[in-house]
Structure 1
Amino acid sequence: VAAAGGGDAGIQSPAPGCCAFFVARKRRYCKMSVAAGRALCGEHAACSGTGAPVANERRRIVCPLDSKHTVYEDVLEKHLKKCNAREKSKPAYYVRDINCGENDDLPSKEQIVALSSLSAEEMSALISKVQVKSDGLDRAEAVLELRVLSHPALQQELTDPSNGKSALKHLQQQASIVGHLSTYGLLAHKSVTHECGAGRGKLSHWLWRALPGATRGVSFLLVERCSTRFKVDGKHQEGDVDFRRLLIDIQHLHLGKVPQLQDKGTSVVAIGKHLCGAATDLALRCLMETLPRHGTRAAAPGLAACGEEAPGQAPCETGTGPTLGIAITLCCHHRCSWPAYVGKEYFCSQGLGPKEFDLIQRMSSWATCGWRRPTDQVPDNGNEDATREERASRQGGVEWHAEEEMEAIDHAAPCQAEDQISYGRSRAEREQLGRLCKRVLDEGRVRYLREWGLTARLQRYVEAGTTVENVLLTA
């Protein structure tokens, strides 16, 4: 961080007890507190107000394990032993890339092409394939049913006027997911609820609130790959509920080695809200292939691997297993990957392969990218509310809020120019094609779960006005 003089008009002097280091990039003084008798905070203690090193001060250096923080040079060795960025011993349930799938049939560099490089005839042929495959689905499943449910446990929050529009949309989604779990009778079993991509853990929190008193002995296993602020875990430190969080990427998670799941007879209910792209496939494989099972599974007819003429797969260890139920909302199909995708067998049985998968997953972004306009299309007049209204008017009246914008960034479709060639099709037609691509990709996931003996289905769990990613996978 560079420092400079802070004598410009309008720049306030350092507050009493705060650091006197001027941050040029932010055009203000550092706001960190300082020790008694010192003018600079720990981060800036080795610099003067102009950025020059201070004589006789303990020298601070960048931590070699994490460049985001600094440490006194004379205590570096001690710091490295306790630094949060140090490599820690892996738990027993960490098995590297166990859920990543096979990558021996990846498309070659020559096969990976941009949509813009396809001729009009090639694009039309690809679109025809997608339309034929989607039309080939069971008629009852071709158009996903809209089932917007709720649950009394969230009724008070849903009617609380202090909740803004953004918070209300999240509550409506959580209420519908809990409502579906209740409809399927998954709240009446003593089980371990496994939340994939848990984030703050709000979905598990509401599910716990919805449980009848007789089943308060259930456990919750929240899996997230990075630390999250404002977690709700603290609300469950006391009482008989067991809220446990695993800080691990789900691609490395072996559920069968998690202590909570090693007892025979333990049932698992898997939940997830907007599990992004390939994370859904990683979670499904983790559930179905790393938990202990009994019996055999014969290969389903017509689901041979790519390049094979007959479904002569060897039986694998399976059975209905401990997975009691699944409720995962899907999103970001443009972030799916062929190695992780669990629907390869179905995909290949339809005459599609890695090359088509790469194109279809990119075309899936057409379904949602129209909802996310680049911010530079709206002139910045210095008024946040006016700018927000302008964006809303240009997006069909959809009003944006800070939390929704952050979620949109996290789950943003690429919408790059090379993938937005219209080929004479309107925006509405491209959005419909994007939805068909999502539908084909999701059908592979449904078939995968059915192979394992689960009754899987897709449905819309909220209106598109609540979230455009409104498809729920249940099993």
Structure 2
Amino acid sequence: MAAPGRCGFFLEKKKRFCKMIVARGKVFCGEHAEEGSSRIPCPLDPKHTVSEDKLEQHLKKCNSREKAKPWDVDNSVLSHPILQEELNNPKNGDSAHKHLKQQSSLLGHLEALGLLGRGRCFVEFGAGRGKLSHWIHEALKTRDHVKTCKDLQLLLVERCSTRFKVDGKHQDTGVEFERLQVDIQHLDLSKVQLLTQKKLPLVGVGKHLCGAATDLALRCLLETPGLRKEVQPPRKRLKTPESSPGPDSGPGPVLGLAVALCCHHRCEWRHYVGQQFFLQKGLGAAEFSAFCRMSSWATCGPANRGPASRAGTNQGRDDEEHEPAEKTDAVSGFLSLEEREQLGRLCKRLIDGGRLHFLETNGFLSKLTCYVDREVTLENVLLTAVPSN
């Protein structure tokens, strides 16, 4: 006789009753509930059986079903019609054509997310010459059949002095177009007068935002200035009406973001937004540094033998000639080039996993997408996010 609270099904091979606990009022466990029905080994794991007439339902919830692989990145190469004429222009060389493809797909993703519209402020981090902001303005002006976009703001953030800027094209358009030459880590959006006047919702954008600049941009957008931890105690100063912000001061809410990632080997633990994500997995600064170094393997193969930048540590550049990654030959004896590149991509996705976690804990739905082909650029992953509500 079965023990109280245990399954009443007798196992002939083991010469005993099943020891599984049953629900209140039930005689058999879930495994042996249908005595009269035919049971078959589960196709996913033959160690347990399933009622044949409920096989389809079981496969959807079986614990042995194939789980989604960590850091899977969808492929979604989009485009925007505003750049089509320029893409077909034979005067553009190969390099210019690749930039246009990236800008076109970026605008396509902004459109698909519902972020490409008027009545908001686009903050372009690592703006370089400002081409991305230029195309955003052109797209909205053309789509809405207007000569000027007076309810549109464009804020370009670039810490380096940049030549051949496109800013001059927007001086007489009526659009509020401003450039700040500042390091992202020193930028406080609540102090930018352009943003605090109309308080338009913010959309963060960036094309190839190198290494730690991505984390700095995320902090700049999502962390409340008053809650930032000061590296050094702030100097005391007298509060005056001019220096004391009012209760409703500050920019508008963050509507979303779309940032093309790159140069994970230049990330820094002190700026990294995914520290909590790493610590929860038993990893720390030392492991993070190792993953950053190995991430360079993803882009150090034959496909990326072109000239490297000697421009220091720009946070974003239009020419995409980034600082060369550290070369590591210690593993060349037992890992093939393909294996090193695959491991490098996995390290990049692990680092990006911390960024996704940061965005989700701040109330955003975030995603990684391959937004252009690798033939266009090896740094072809786009980070997007919109509020979860």
Which of 244, 260, 272 is the equivalent residue of 2:194? 260
Which of 339, 350, 353 is the equivalent residue of 1:440? 350
C-alpha displacement of 1:411: 3.5
Which of 308, 326, 343 is the equivalent residue of 1:414? 326
- Within 1, Cα distance between the matches of 2:215 and 2:199? 25
Which of 256, 266, 274 is the equivalent residue of 1:343? 274
Number of residue pairs the alignment of both structures matches: 282
In the alignment, residue 274 of structure 1 is paired with which amino acid?
Answer: H
Relative distance call for 1:260 and 1:290 in structure 2 (3 A) is farther
Relative distance call for 1:405 and 1:291 in structure 2 (3 A) is closer
Which of 103, 116, 129 is the equivalent residue of 1:200? 129
1:291–1:322: 8 Å Cα contact kept in structure 2? Answer: no
- Structure 2 counterpart of 1:147: 76
Which of 149, 158, 178 is the equivalent residue of 2:87? 158
1:450 aligns with 2:381: no
2:130–2:165: 8 Å Cα contact kept in structure 1? Answer: yes
Which of 291, 295, 310 is the equivalent residue of 1:364? 295
C-alpha displacement of 1:189: 4.0
List gaps (5 residues or longer) in structure 1.
Answer: 1-136, 294-320, 376-403
C-alpha displacement of 1:239: 1.9
C-alpha displacement of 1:422: 2.5
1:276–1:411: 8 Å Cα contact kept in structure 2? Answer: no
Q: Deviations over 1:133-180 (max 9, x none)?
A: xxxx97166321110000110010011111111110000000000000
1:192–1:221: 8 Å Cα contact kept in structure 2? Answer: yes
- Structure 2 counterpart of 1:287: 221
In the alignment, residue 149 of structure 2 is paired with which amino acid?
Answer: R
C-alpha displacement of 1:264: 6.7
- Within 1, Cα distance between the matches of 2:167 and 2:319? 22
1:459 aligns with 2:372: no
- Find the residue that maps to 1:220 and give its secondary structure: strand
When normalised by structure 2's length, the TM-score is: 0.68
- Within 1, Cα distance between the matches of 2:169 and 2:103? 18
- Structure 2 counterpart of 1:323: 254
Question: How many percent of aligned residue pairs carry the same amino acid?
Answer: 54
In the alignment, residue 328 of structure 1 is paired with which amino acid?
Answer: V
- Within 1, Cα distance between the matches of 2:91 and 2:210? 30
Which of 228, 231, 240 is the equivalent residue of 2:174? 240
C-alpha displacement of 1:290: 4.1
In the alignment, residue 254 of structure 1 is paired with which amino acid?
Answer: D
List gaps (5 residues or longer) in structure 2.
Answer: 1-65, 228-251, 308-316
C-alpha displacement of 1:186: 1.0
C-alpha displacement of 1:226: 1.5
Which of 206, 212, 216 is the equivalent residue of 2:149? 216
C-alpha displacement of 1:236: 0.3
Which of 161, 171, 192 is the equivalent residue of 2:100? 171
Relative distance call for 1:292 and 1:160 in structure 2 (3 A) is farther
C-alpha displacement of 1:350: 1.1
C-alpha displacement of 1:472: 0.1
When normalised by structure 1's length, the TM-score is: 0.56
- Within 1, Cα distance between the matches of 2:115 and 2:123? 13
Which of 355, 380, 384 is the equivalent residue of 1:470? 380
- Within 1, Cα distance between the matches of 2:269 and 2:71? 24
- Within 1, Cα distance between the matches of 2:299 and 2:379? 8
C-alpha displacement of 1:292: 8.3
List aligned pairs for 1:26-425, cutoff 5 A: 139=68, 142-211=71-140, 212-213=143-144, 216-217=149-150, 218-263=152-197, 265-290=199-224, 322-370=253-301, 371-373=303-305, 407-408=320-321, 410-417=322-329, 420-422=330-332, 424-425=334-335
Q: Deviations over 1:243-296 (max 9, x none)?
A: 100011111000111112224742000000000000000110000114689xxx
In the alignment, residue 213 of structure 2 is paired with which amino acid?
Answer: A
- Find the residue that maps to 2:108 and give its secondary structure: helix
Provide the aligned C-alpha RMSD in A.
2.4
- Find the residue that maps to 1:279 and give its secondary structure: helix
- Within 2, Cα distance between the matches of 1:373 and 1:154? 28
Relative distance call for 1:226 and 1:329 in structure 2 (3 A) is same
1:194–1:269: 8 Å Cα contact kept in structure 2? Answer: yes
- Find the residue that maps to 1:468 and give its secondary structure: coil
- Find the residue that maps to 1:228 and give its secondary structure: coil
- Within 2, Cα distance between the matches of 1:157 and 1:262? 35
- Within 1, Cα distance between the matches of 2:275 and 2:212? 13
